[in-house]
Amino acid sequence: MSAGWIFGFFLGVLGIISHFTYIRFASEYNYWLLVVGFFLVCVNARR
């Protein structure tokens, strides 16, 4: 498991959590955090 996969996973989890609760900065960009996290997981899962 690479560091990029773990970082993408945590970005995705932060995006989901910030959708349901208010986290300053993260709640404003929760959709993009989820998209970038999903992209990083997909790219790093191929390795």
- The angle formed by the CA atoms of residues 26, 30 and 1, to the nearest 5 degrees, is 90
Q: Which two tokens stand for residue 34?
A: 């989820």
Residue 20 belongs to domain spanning = 3-45
Q: Are the C-beta atoms of residues 41 and 3 closer than 8 Å to each other?
A: no
pLDDT tens per residue across span 1-47: 688 888 988 989 988 998 899 988 888 888 998 999 999 999 888 76
Q: Structure pTM? A: 0.80
**Which residues make Cβ contacts (< 8 Å) with residue 24, sequence separation at least 6?**
none
Structurally, how many domains does the chain consist of? 1
